[in-house]
Every structure is written in C-alpha cells, then in structure tokens.
C-alpha cells in the first residue's frame, strides 16, 4: 500500500485548529460588519480568461488550471486524424504545435482556481454593476490557491479576508481601513506594525532620477531595504545596471530618517520637481494629519519609503502589516487602486482595500503563545449501561442540549474504565452516571473531571444545569 | 469586450445570500457541537490517486482534475523527441498513445478537487490513526466540486455539512443522528421527511430472488419507485431483463404498505430465508423500538424499502431527507458503512454519518418563504460635512463600534440628498447629523429611517446607544 499523503503545500486541520481559526474568522467578520462592510462570495474557480494576465510577472504560472471535463482530447484527436489525411507532414506539424505549452493549455483548460480575492471582486463589480449602489463596501473571506513553492508560512491553499470600498476617492477610506486593522488586531490581541507608503512617491522618484527604463530593477532592489539595508539597496541598484549619476538625483532618500512627519518633510524637498511625487506626499500629509487625531488603540504606524507591495494594480497609499517581535512574512496588506475594473470594461472606478492572511495570523498567534488556549467546548458524557438506562439518559441529554450544553451518550455498554478513558481523551468536563439504582432513587451522579473528588449526587438535571451555566 | 461570465454551475453570492447561508451554517455547526462532534478540515484538492475509483460507476469523470504546475508537457516533449529519433513510426505511435485519455491524464494531472467529504475523512482517519481516539466523532463543513450537468438544484460547487462517528458499531449512533437531524431542521424551521431503509434488506431481496447478476439493474429500477410507482418499477426490471420468475419470489415487496412497523412485519415474512435480510430487519426493529421512545419534535420518519442511496459504500441503515411540500431533490442523507477506511489500509472500522446539503436547504427555505427574512445588521451612518465634523463623528463612531453597533462615516462631503440615498439603498437604520451647530451645542441629531418623523435631538451618543440596545 502506498503511503498516504497530501499534495505539497496543503494541510489537514485538527479539531482544535479549526476551532481557533474559526474564532479568528469570527472576530474579523464581526469587525468587517461593524465598519459597514457587506459580505459577498465568488466561485472557487473562474474562467481561465478572467484570471490570466492580471497579476503581472510570472504569476500566470502560479494559477492552478482545471482540466475540461469529459474526454478533453476528443477535439485534438479529431484534428489530428483530419490533418493526418492531408499527409504525414501536416499531421506531425500539428503534433508539434500541440506540444507547445500555451496553445495546448487553452485547448484543454477553461477554468482556474481563484488566485486572490481582488480580481474576482473586479469581475463581480463589472458584472453586477447594475445591481450595485456605489460606494460599494464589500468583504470576502474565502480560500485562494497558488502554485508557489511551499514554505513554513507559505501554503498552496490559504484563506484571505478582504475588505474593499469601491467607487470613492475619499482618503477618509484609508483612515477607516487603518482603524479597522487597529480594532481587529486589538481584538485578536496580536501586536503589529503597519508600514505605509504611496505608489506615486515611488513613481515620482523614478521620474526624477529618469530611470523609467530600469523600473523593474528599481522596484525589486527597493523591496529588499528591510532585509539588506539602504546602503546595500543602493549597491544592488548599481549592480543591476542603474547609472549612479541618475541615482544621485534621489540620493537623499537613502538616508531618510526620523518619525513619519520628519521623513515626509525631508522627502518633500527631494521630490518637489515631480507632480506625481508631490501628490503622493500631499496625500500622505492629509492621512497623517487625520490619523493623529482619530483614536488608534493598538497598531504602530511607520512611513516606509521602500514599501512597494508587489501587485501591479496599486496607484495610491499602500499598507503592509507585520507582527511585532516574531520573524514572519507580512500578515496583511492593501492600498488604493484607481482602475481595477477597467480591465473588465468598467473604467474610472477607484477602489481601496485591505487584506488579512488568516493562516499567517493564526501562525503568528501560535508562535507568540505556543500553549494556546483550548477552545474545546465544555462537554458532558453519559455512561452507557444498557437499554433502559440509555433511554433515561437520552431524555436528560435532550434537556442539556436545549440549554446549549453539548452532551452525548457513550456509544455502547463497555467497561466503565474504557468509557472514562474516552472522556479523558476527549477532554470531557463532566461524566454522568445514571444506573438502575439512580433511576429508582430518581437521582443522577456527576463526576467533575477537572477535580480528583468523588462523584456528586444531584436531585435532578436542572440543578446541575443551573450550577454550570451560572 | 467579451461578455463577463462565470463557469457553468457556479454562482456569485450577494450580501443577503451570504448572510442567510452563514446563519444556516451557524445553526448546523452549533448543533454538531451540541451533539459532541469536533470539527476537522481537509484540503480542497487531494492526490488524484486518493479520489479515483472510489465513487463507483462513471463518477471518476465527474471529478475535477488540476493540471500539474510548470510546463507539464516538458516530459512529453522529451519523450517525443527521443522516440522520433528512433524513426517516424515510433514517434507517431507515441502521439497516438498520448491522445488516449486515461494514460495522458495521469501524466499531466496529479491532483483533483474534493468530490465529497467522506473519502477525505477515510483518508484522514487512516493517515492520522495514531492521533485519533475512537470512537471518533467529527464534523466537516466544506465545499465539494462535481462536474455534473448543472440544474436548478444541482451545482458544480456546493457546500456539504457532514457529521460521522467512526469506530463504533452501536445502533445508538443511528438514533443520535436522527435526533441531530430533528434538532437541526427544527432550528432551521424546515419541515422534512426522513426516509429509512437498510442496505442488507436490498441485498437480501436480491439473494432471495437470485438476481445477483442483475444487481445494477435491480438497484437502478428500485431507485425510481418514488417517481414512477412500484408497478412500473416491476415493469422496468423486466424490461431490463430480470427474469419474472425470479422477481416473483419477492413479489410481496411491491405491494408493501402500512406504517413503519407493519411494513417491517410484512417484509420479515418475505425475507426470512436470507441471513443478510434478517439482520437488516432486526436492526431496523431495534432502531424503531428506540426511536419511538426518544423525543423527536420535528421530523417524520418513513420506512421506504426502495431507498437505495447511490454511493457504493453503505452497508447498514441508510437515511434520506426530503423537504415536505416542495419539489426538490434530497437535502440530506447518510448511513452506515462498515469498511470505508479499508481502502486506505485500515480495515474493520465501522462508521456511520449524515450529510446536509447547504445549498439545497437554502433553496428549500427560499422556496417555502420567498420573502425571506432580511439578516442585514442594523447600521448607523454619519453624514459627512467636512473635516472638523468628520473628526468629531469619527470619535462617536468608535464609541458605537465598541458597543457592537455597526457604524460608518459617509465617504465624502457630497449633497445631503445623495448621502441619504446611500442610506436608503444600504438599508441603513439610523442617519446621524453632527454639523458645526451641533458640535457647539454638544448635541447630535438622529433620523430613524424606518419612520417618517423628523430628526430627533439627543444630548449624547450614550443616550442613543442605550435606546437602541434595550
């Protein structure tokens, strides 16, 4: 027999994990609702054409494609036979074409698994535009799939929690989203830093340095700031071929320091000659002015000039959330995108949103508190003695359940010791015995499994219910 | 621009649908916990080899397969070029092989989407056997995918809610599961009939009639009883080639009537000569004796000799749930299977479980009550006048949210009429105005959108909170 296994990058979740993940989801969902967002859900797979070419770079390869149902080669076979009749050469040419990855792919696959929640949102907004009243505040908590190389904190199936506002350019949305992060991470009890930047500042710097041709290299190098430091970012840029004389025009950026406001002031002087850059700085100034006056209880904000956020579609303020004091990739991020639904035929709709990575938040909680709380509900087990006793127990169990106390009968009349073992393994809180003697006396005996004391006799189940629901 | 669409058989869910679906899930989840079940989750895709050949019949074709990541044709290309060198003929032979569905499939796909929750459960139990303490009571609420032909109540992506007990042969589990159904459908407020049968009774009848060679035809015909009536089932069997003289040995079955007990008594006389059949009748007798004595508040039970339940793996009592008074396919089902983990190398583990189809339950609720309740939470909107007012509003909003009242600021200072339009479209309950005048007077003005009355002045937000949380 082959050893049983799961596909790489996927996981089974044991009961305690499902319970603690569901608790996190509940906190996030409640806060999304508190902030006025409404839930939507989209299918796990979309048309391949909806997803391909939307994520930039090599991302298309990371999208999981689904093979068309039925005999997907039938059409191929037909074509082959047809061409073969025209002569061996054309038949062979056809085969060679078929062995070309992209053209063949389109023939055998029309669907692909959701890669993120943002492109499906854009498709949703463009498709249901007539039913939507803008500004549209939606949240979505669903799995996404990516054929990335699996790592400690990178999975091929993971859960994203997104909240977006579509159809409003107001910067008060960015303020609200930071307050939303603040409330969520406070409720989750996970200390975090939120890094802030503006995409137009990065574009502005590239404009000033006149290094548009090196945009990719510029971005990729900048993104390494946190890991290798600004000095090495400079070196990396030069190594990648960006002319030093160009870089010198924005040299000041590499030594920028101070608090949010001080950094903004210094940057302001450097970026003066770029309209885009100025707009970015102004928006961040407004953001900073307001955010200082609203109440934030929990998160730390940090202006970080090197923050890029890989995805292509951002155009305004961008965020990234990192847990404090542990080494982990970002657990959330987001920002403003000005033309996301344009690709689906609905131009000039501005959106802004945040995302939370449930799996990494869960991991961060576990890393910060390895002996995490147990969310197993308090359960009651009735011992199984025989038919008469079980029927009696069954009625008491129904009473407990009506009072929302999980209760069950042990499946069969096995040795009492074995039944108690089950109770211990299942972390059951109370074991109740109702034997023939108790039925006659109209009593029940209850053992509190958290104590070493003996069983206690109760007059009726109601007394016990009263005691444990106090 | 191509018209936007979704893959056939999939759906977007609008806010109200997500909310009412989540409410159903919450009811089901709470009851699973109340009955002592613990949640697990398994990955959306499993190794193809885990799923293929497990569901009988043509089901393998209904499993969605995922194309291997990377250039899945690289290996093929290499093979082709290698063989081509040996001569055109072997190259061509290779191509023909490749155009053979099954052999090619295995080469380009190693993963497939979950088809149900039962086979993943078996794989889970076999794989984690060392960590599991039996009897193992697990529940699982996750999506499954089937490449079926889409219909009104048949989707290609749908949500199943399963509860199973693994590792106990006690018939008290069947009793518990019926009680679980009873509680869930009572809480959901959906009237249902649960049909009951026993797999060994069907096998026993086939044994007595000596029609084992016609097993498939026997089952398929039997399954149509509900739709075409027993007389036509008899005809259908004969049409399919089952010899009438054999069928006559079980003729009585086709006229069986009466209540559960009467049907059992009549059947008992017919099936006497089959050991399997006798066992089935005895188990149902015990089931009936107990179920009559435990309290069922909601469901109707019906013994239905023609109930088959398509899946191959059932071996004992089987159930099927149908909504009363509306025409819809079954919304739930289940039964006992005696050797499900055997296929994964862990033999002789008996299990029994039930499943609920969330999508059909949701549909049934909508059919029974087209003007379904609105689960939109009560929301409060603050009008947006300007920066100073918005900052003031922001503090009040935080206070409301701390009291778990959804509240938000309209994104920007647009015409008041437009802001009210948003409130109406979003079904917002209260609109609050705090202008410069109110700030000076230290008051707030609140409009109850459900009433035609004017705005009311409040001294502070706390008074308002007290009023609406009463």
Q: Is the per-residue pLDDT at A403 higher than 90? A: yes
CB A222 within 8 A of CB A206: no
> Is residue B353 a part of any domain in this protein?
yes
A175 in contact with B, Cβ within 8 Å: yes
Cβ atoms of A4 and B124 within 8 Å: the answer is no
- Check pLDDT > 90 for residue B339: no
Give first-to-last CA distance, chain B, whole Å: 53
Give Cα A361 to chain centroid, integer Å: 8
Q: Are residues B312 and B438 in the same domain?
A: no
Structural domain boundaries, residue B335: 15-54+115-210+249-368
Say if residue B352 is in the same domain as residue B384.
no
Q: Determine the distance in angstroms separating the CA of A19 from the nearest CA of chain B, rounded to an integer.
A: 7
Q: Is the pLDDT confidence value at B389 over 80? A: yes
Residue A232 placed within a domain: no
- Same domain (yes/no): B285, B413: no
Q: Which residues pair with B356 in a beta bridge?
A: B161, B332
> Token pair 């797979």 is at which residue?
A45
A181-212 per-position pLDDT tens digit: 999 999 999 999 999 999 999 999 999 999 99
Asked if residue A26 is part of any domain, the answer here is yes
Can you name the residues that pair with B457 across neighbouring β-strands? B445
Q: Which domain-ending residue is among A345, A368, A391?
A: A368
Contacts with A, B 304-363, CB within 8 Å = 344-345
Specify the pLDDT at position B369: 85
Whether residues B66 and A62 touch (CB distance < 8 A) is answered with no
Q: What is the pLDDT of residue A89?
A: 60
The percent of chain B in helix, strand and coil, each rounded to the nearest 5, is 45, 20, 35
Residue B387 with chain A: CB contacts under 8 Å: 290
- Say how many domains are in chain B: 3
State phi, psi for B447 to the nearest 5 degrees: -110, 120
Strand locations in B209-349 (E): 300-303, 317-323, 332-337
Kindly state whether residues A48 and A195 are assigned to the same domain. yes
Which residues of A are less than 8 Å from B425 in CB distance? 133
Quick: pLDDT tens for A271-312: 989 999 999 999 999 999 999 999 899 999 999 999 998 767
Question: Based on the domain organization, do A306 and A428 belong to the same domain?
Answer: no
SS3 content of chain A, % helix, strand, coil (to 5): 45, 20, 35
Residue the block writes with tokens 């072997």: B90
Looking at residue B148, which CATH number applies to its domain? 3.30.930.10
User: Three-class SS of residue B399?
Assistant: helix
pLDDT band, residue B58 (cuts 50/70/90)? confident
Identify all chain B residues contacting A109, using CB atoms and an 8 Å cutoff.
67
Phi-psi region of B309 (alpha: psi -120 to 50; beta: other; left: phi over 0): left
A281 and A308 belong to one structural domain: yes
Q: Are B42 and B120 in contact (CB under 8 A)?
A: yes
Averaged pLDDT of chain B: 91
When CB atoms are compared, the residue of A7, A39, A379 closest to B46 is: A7
Q: Would B70 be classed as within a structural domain?
A: yes
Tokens of A413: 């009349």
Taking every pair of Cα atoms in chain A, the longest distance, rounded to a whole number of angstroms, is 97
Q: Can you tell me the distance from the alpha carbon of A200 to that of B468, in angstroms, rounded to the nearest whole number?
A: 44
CATH assignment at residue B393: 3.40.50.800
Does any domain span residue A227? no
* Window A:33-72, CB contacts with B under 8 Å: 33-36, 38-47, 49-50, 61-62, 64-67, 69-72
Q: Which of B318, B339, B368 is the last residue of a domain?
A: B368
Mean local confidence (pLDDT), B207-228: 92
- Based on the fold, state whether residues A385 and A353 are members of the same structural domain: no
Does residue A246 belong to the interface with chain B, where contact is any CB pair within 8 Å? no
Cα distances (angstroms) measured from residue B154 to each of A68, A95, A362, B14, B332? 19, 38, 35, 19, 13
A422 and A295 in a single domain? The answer is: no
In this predicted structure, which of A233-237, A250-254, A375-379, B351-355 has the lowest mean pLDDT? A375-379
Report if residue B243 sits inside a domain.
no
Q: Does the pLDDT value for residue A379 go beyond 60?
A: yes
A158 DSSP β-pair partners:
A144
Do both A311 and A388 map to the same domain? no
Q: Which of residues 394-413 of B touch A (CB under 8 A)?
A: 394-395, 398, 401, 404-409, 411-412
B340 has a pLDDT exceeding 90: no
Rounded to whole angstroms, the maximal C-alpha distance in chain B is: 97
The pLDDT-based confidence of A377 (bands split at 50, 70, 90) is confident
Counting residues of chain B whose pLDDT is more than 70, the rounded percentage is 91
Q: Cβ of B135 under 8 Å from any chain A Cβ? A: yes
Is there a contact between B170 and A411 (Cβ–Cβ < 8 Å)? yes
Q: Which is it for strands A38-39 and B300-303: parallel, antiparallel or unpaired? A: unpaired
Question: Which tens digits make up the pLDDT trace of A406-437?
Answer: 999 999 999 999 999 999 999 999 999 999 99
Q: Is the pLDDT of residue A49 over 70?
A: yes
Sort B102 into a burial class: Cβ within 10 Å, 0-12 / 13-18 / 19+: exposed
- Answer whether residue B54 shows pLDDT above 80: yes
- Is B225 domain-assigned? no
Name every residue whose Cβ is closer than 8 Å to that of residue A405 and which is 6 or more positions away in sequence. A378, A380, A465, A468, A469, B34
Q: Are B170 and B257 within one domain? A: yes
Q: Could you tell me what percent of chain A has a pLDDT over 70?
A: 91
Contact of A186 with chain B, judged by CB distance below 8 Å, is answered with no
Cα–Cα distance measured from residue A39 to residue B274, given in angstroms and rounded to the nearest whole number: 56
The reported pLDDT for the residue numbered A153 is 87
Nearest CA in chain B to A104: B73
User: ω before A186 within 30° of 0 (cis)?
Assistant: no
Beta-carbon separation of B36 and A173 below 8 A: no
Distance CA B341, CA B126 (A): 6
Determine, yes or no, domain membership for A19: yes
**Predicted local confidence at residue B139, as pLDDT:** 98
Collapsing DSSP states into helix, strand and coil, what is residue B444?
A: strand
The residue in chain A having the minimum alpha-carbon distance to the alpha carbon of residue B352 is: A411
| In a shared domain, residues B277 and B332 | yes
- d(C-alpha A212, C-alpha A218), whole Å: 9
At A75, the pLDDT band (50, 70, 90 cuts) reads low
Residue B105 CB partners (closer than 8 Å, separation 6+): A67, B65
Pair (B87, B170) in one structural domain: no
Distance from CA of A382 to the nearest CA of B (A): 11
pLDDT in tens, A337-349: 988 899 899 999 9
Tally of CB atoms within 10 A around A243:
13
């Amino acid at each position: 027999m082959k050893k049983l296994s799961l596909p790489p990058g996927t996981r089974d979740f044991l009961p305690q994990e499902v319970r603690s993940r569901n608790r996190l989801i509940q906190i996030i969902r409640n806060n999304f609702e508190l902030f006025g967002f409404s839930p939507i859900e989209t299918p796990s797979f979309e048309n391949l054409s909806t997803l391909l070419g939307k994520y930039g770079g090599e991302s298309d390869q990371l999208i999981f494609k689904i093979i068309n149902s039925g005999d997907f080669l039938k059409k191929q076979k037909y074509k082959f036979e047809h061409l073969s009749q025209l002569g061996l050469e054309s038949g062979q040419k056809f085969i060679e074409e078929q062995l070309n990855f992209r053209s063949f792919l389109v023939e055998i696959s029309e669907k692909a698994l959701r890669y993120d929640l943002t492109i499906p949102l854009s498709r949703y907004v463009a498709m249901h535009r007539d039913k939507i009243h803008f500004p549209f505040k939606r949240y979505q908590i669903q799995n996404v799939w990516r054929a990335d190389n699996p790592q400690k904190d990178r999975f091929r199936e993971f859960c994203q929690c997104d909240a977006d506002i579509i159809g409003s350019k107001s910067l008060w949305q960015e303020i609200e989203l930071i307050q939303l992060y603040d409330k969520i991470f406070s409720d989750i009890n996970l200390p975090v830093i939120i890094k802030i930047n503006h995409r137009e500042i990065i574009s502005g710097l590239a404009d000033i340095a006149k290094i548009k041709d090196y945009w990719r290299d510029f971005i990729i190098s900048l993104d390494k700031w946190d890991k290798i430091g600004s000095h090495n970012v400079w070196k990396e840029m030069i190594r990648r071929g960006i002319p030093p004389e160009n870089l010198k025009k924005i040299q000041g950026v590499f030594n920028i320091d101070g608090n949010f406001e001080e950094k903004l002031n210094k940057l302001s002087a450097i970026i003066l000659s770029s309209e885009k850059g100025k707009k970015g700085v102004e928006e961040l100034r407004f953001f900073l002015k307001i955010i200082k006056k609203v109440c934030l209880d929990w998160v730390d904000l940090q202006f970080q000039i090197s923050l890029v956020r890989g995805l292509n579609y951002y155009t305004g303020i961008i965020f990234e959330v990192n847990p404090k004091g542990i080494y982990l990739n970002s657990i959330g991020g987001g920002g403003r995108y000005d033309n996301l639904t344009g690709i689906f035929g609905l131009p000039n709709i501005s959106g802004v949103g945040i995302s939370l990575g449930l799996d990494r938040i869960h991991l961060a909680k576990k890393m910060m508190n390895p002996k995490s709380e147990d969310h197993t509900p308090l359960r009651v087990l009735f011992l199984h003695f025989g038919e008469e006793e079980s029927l009696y127990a069954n009625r008491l169990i129904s009473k407990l359940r009506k009072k929302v106390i999980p209760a069950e009968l042990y499946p069969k009349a096995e040795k009492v010791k074995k039944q108690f073992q089950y109770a211990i393994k299942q972390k059951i809180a109370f074991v109740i015995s109702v034997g023939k003697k108790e039925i006659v006396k109209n009593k029940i005996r209850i053992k509190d499994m958290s104590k070493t004391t003996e069983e206690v006799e109760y007059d009726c189940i109601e007394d016990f219910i009263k005691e444990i629901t106090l």
